[in-house]
Structure 1
Amino acid sequence: MTVSVQKPLRLTYEAIITKEKLRGSLQAALYLEFATIPPYLTAVYSMKDKSAEAYQIIRSVALEEMLHINLVCNLLLAIGYTPLFVKPASDPFNGLVNAPVPYISEITYPTYILPNFYEGPYVQILAASPELIKQTFMAIEEPMQSNQPLPAQGEKFTSIGQIYQAIKEGFEYLDANIGSAALFSGTPEHQKTNYYFGSGGGKAIAVTNLETAEQAIEQIVQQGEGATPPTTEYRPKQPYGTYNRYGHRNDGTYGPILGTPFELSHYFKFRDIADGKIPLPSAYPMLPNPSIAKFTGTPAEELASHFQDDYSLMIRALEQAFADNTDTQAYFTTVVELMQGVFPTVITQLMKTPISADTNSTLGPTAGPCFEYTSITLQEITAKVSNLKKKCLQSLLPKDKSSQDEVSRAMADTWHKLDEALQKISKKIEGTPLEKHL
């Protein structure tokens, strides 16, 4: 009998000279962009003062990461491939160089992000602190040094900027060698350009040729890392002073400008917080790296499990939103509703919920969001929440209201809000093609 040995999947750098390699590299970029959102969102909602400047800054970064996901998906669609968030039964990347392993649906924390591909920091799910901002967030967004070459063949990338430089060179090589028509073979109308990303900067770009592909890549790099290393001094005689700020100029073009702190790149925004120029408000005493297993038998168990369901639903909705079709319902009816109407409610309540037997304890540790994927459907989620709401309300009825502990009352209110939010999503997508995907 002959035993076949599968060749290990190599994720180190290789020059992009085929569309399949370009596809794999873009999928890796999609994975990297998404992997930053859970730690950023956790830090945001761990802050007790939602009006604090640090809260608004980190929230804007998370929104811009959503824009980066949009731009990477447009780049994939432009070359004729559907962006993948959930690993399909038949893995199209089996044995493909530069493919992300695992898929977004398989991310677990704490983790090194694509450790055989990118020498990034160890990413954990933690409450906001100066140490987290400095050691993890700034490390993720650390700028690529000026004129830094790509790694040698077979070596890892040392910054996200390097990854996008390789992707840019891949686009340039393929455009020159196989032609623009063969490279940009996707259907332009399948791309998404009308999404609103709140207080985050930038805009979605329709990618149709090499010029617009490079514009999309440049915007991601400028927002995330800035175009110069952090040691670069202000240069008043240059046309735009310095290149670590970006935005829409008065002449209508987009690029480096002098501006407000919200126009700083992610790295410099985080540096201001880490250095204490922008103070961090107090945070909830969340248990590091929450997981369902850690909350078994605690007051937070059911709510933690529910957030896991919501998170999984968002991943599937994102895949459908950026699928190779003209459906625009998934993003507005599901992704936005989950991120704005569901996530803040669930995550904040989790961080207020002690995991000790004393539910009135204010010392912690408290629970937190569990970013673990499940395949539960929207219909199943909605039914579960409705039943939990009834169960929670019934448990409060016989009691004297004055004797009910604060956590129980807050939990009942949370289930009520979640029930309303999920019913709203269900009603919006009822009878649409999206319904069968969620």
Structure 2
Amino acid sequence: MSKTTSRITSIAQLHSYLHAALQLEHATLPPYLTALYSIRPGTNLDAVQILRAVVVEEMLHLTLAANLLNAVGGTPDLTRPDFVPRYPAVLPDGETDFQVDVQRLSVDAVNNFLKIERPRKAPDEASRHRGADAAAACPSGAAPGYYEIVGSYYSIGEFYDEILRGMEYLDAAQPGALFIGDRSRQVSSEYYYAAGGKLLTVTDLASARAAIRLIAEQGEGHGLSIYDREGELSHYYRFEQLLLGRYYRKAGGTADLPGEPTGPALHVEWDAVYPIKKNVHLEDYEAGSELRAAAVAFNEAYAGLLRLLTAAYTGQPRLLLDAVPAMYRVRDRLDLLLRNPLPGAGGLHAAPTFEPAAAGAVRS
């Protein structure tokens, strides 16, 4: 951990960063889910496996972020009208040099994923801490209501470094006064419904450090390795395999170097996907049409999932077991959209809008 002075000097600031962390972890799910389900059934099995594994781990990261926030007395809320960004959007950690898109699986989409999961080392110190003197970074293009953070960060890993520095600073300033959250809100492994890494409860600085390390390493790898400390290939290099056309390999005590996979060949049929419209919104659907009704139904299902997760993270962790059927409902409604051409879109297909705040909108 860097000895850089913490920008987080109060509990209120720490809560803001951790709320932003929740938004950040969630912001990756719509693009990953859409790319996954844009793949035509029975094709691109390698890509399906890679995307599905990453989605499961992002759900783990979302739950770990909730545990971190609960541990320091915060309250996770995934139901705020501004929680889900309007895509295209910048990430809530202030990575303003690119935007995140919701689109079909493509070379462009995978390159976008690589930017999301990029390793923490910035090209230079100036770009690492852009806007360090800014009082608050509400990035241009970010959804209104993004929680206030100071400066901007080159990568997700660097953003979590800042959170850990803040925790270390606050814990040292007032020993015993930081980790005061209700421990019954911690979601433990007994309630986690899938593989993808160990779900850690957070009760002190050591467990917070372990949770943050897991999130960062699963995304970008550990140090100079493409793997995390548990030996799992990180998200960045999983996605990179799709472009390089070959799996990374780890045998015995040696592992492939970044950018040089030597494992089995991996083939992606880029055309074996539904040609969905990029970053579609509810206004793209004709009033009174069946597709608009399907888009609203998807948003209702997605809003229900976010309500369920919020309840699970705020005292009813057993509800997390119900997330599987909720995800299936989301998937089924998403699939109904992707299979249908969007009138007036030049042959492009419909897609989910990920606008849960509009879930109560009149269907017509």
Tell me if TM exceeds 0.5: yes
Residue deviations 1:264-305, cap 9 Å, x none? 100000111122333334100111112221121554221111
Q: CA deviation at 1:28?
A: 0.9
Q: What's the CA shift for 1:317? A: 1.5
Contact 1:119 1:159 in 2 (8 A): no
Once the two structures are superposed, the pairs formed by residues 19-58 of structure 1 within 5 Å of their partners are: 19-50=11-42, 52-58=45-51
Match of 2:89 in 1: 111
Question: What is the aligned partner in structure 1 of residue 351 from structure 2?
Answer: 368
Indicate the residue corresponding to 1:18 in structure 2.
Answer: 10
CA RMSD of aligned residues (A): 2.7
**Structure-to-structure mapping, 1:276-425, within 5 angstroms:** 276-277=245-246, 278-281=266-269, 282-297=272-287, 298-323=289-314, 325=315, 327-333=316-322, 335-339=323-327, 341-356=328-343, 364-374=347-357
Q: Does residue 123 in structure 1 map to residue 113 in structure 2?
A: no
Give distance in 1, aligned partners of 2:16 and 2:282.
32
* Identity among equivalent pairs (%): 33
Return the offset for 1:313: 1.4
Which amino acid is the alignment partner of residue 239 of structure 2?
F
Distance 2:77 2:219 in 1: 22
Show the counterpart of 2:185.
190
CA change 1:77–1:296 in 2 (3 A) is same
> Which residue of structure 2 aligns with residue 264 of structure 1?
233
Partners of 1:355 and 1:26 lie apart in 2 by 38
C-alpha separation between the residues in 1 aligned to 2:349 and 2:358?
Answer: 27
Secondary structure of the corresponding residue to residue 166 of structure 2: helix
TM-score normalised by structure 1 residue count: 0.67
Change in 2 beyond 3 A, CA 1:146/1:227: farther
Q: Are the structure 2 counterparts of residues 25 and 148 from structure 1 closer, same or farther at C-alpha, using a change threshold of 3 Å?
A: farther
How far does residue 197 in structure 1 lie from its aligned partner after superposition? 4.7
Which residue is 2:161 aligned to? Answer: 165
Aligned residue number for residue 143 of structure 1: 119
Note the residue ranges of structure 1 that are not aligned, 5 or more in a row. 1-12, 88-101, 233-242, 247-254, 258-262, 385-438
Unaligned runs of 5+ in 2: 135-150, 247-265
Task: Tell me the TM-score normalized by structure 2.
Answer: 0.79
AA aligned opposite 1:293: E
CA deviations over 1:203-261 (Å, ceiling 9, x no partner): 11111111100000000001011123xxx5xxxxxxxxxx3223xxxxxxxx243xxxx
In the TM superposition, residue 148 of structure 1 has moved relative to its aligned partner by 8.2
AA aligned to 1:104 is F
Displacement after TM superposition at 1:171 (Å)? 1.1
Q: Does the aligned pair in 1 maintain the 2:296–2:358 contact within 8 Å?
A: no
Deviation at 1:59, TM superposition (A): 1.2
1: distance between equivalents of 2:309 and 2:170? 28
| Counterpart-to-counterpart distance in 1, 2:123 and 2:210 | 19
Give SS of 2:191's match: coil
Question: Which 4+ residue blocks in structure 1 deviate beyond 4 angstroms?
Answer: 146-150
Q: Structure 1 residues 196, 120: CA separation in 2 closer, same or farther (over 3 Å shift)?
A: farther
Distance in 1 separating the partners of 2:203 and 2:180: 9
Question: Could you tell me which residue of structure 2 aligns to residue 251 of structure 1?
Answer: none
Q: Which has the larger radius of gyration?
A: 1
Q: Which among 92, 115, 133 is matched to residue 110 of structure 2?
A: 133
Flag the 1:50–1:141 CA change in 2: closer, same or farther, 3 A.
farther
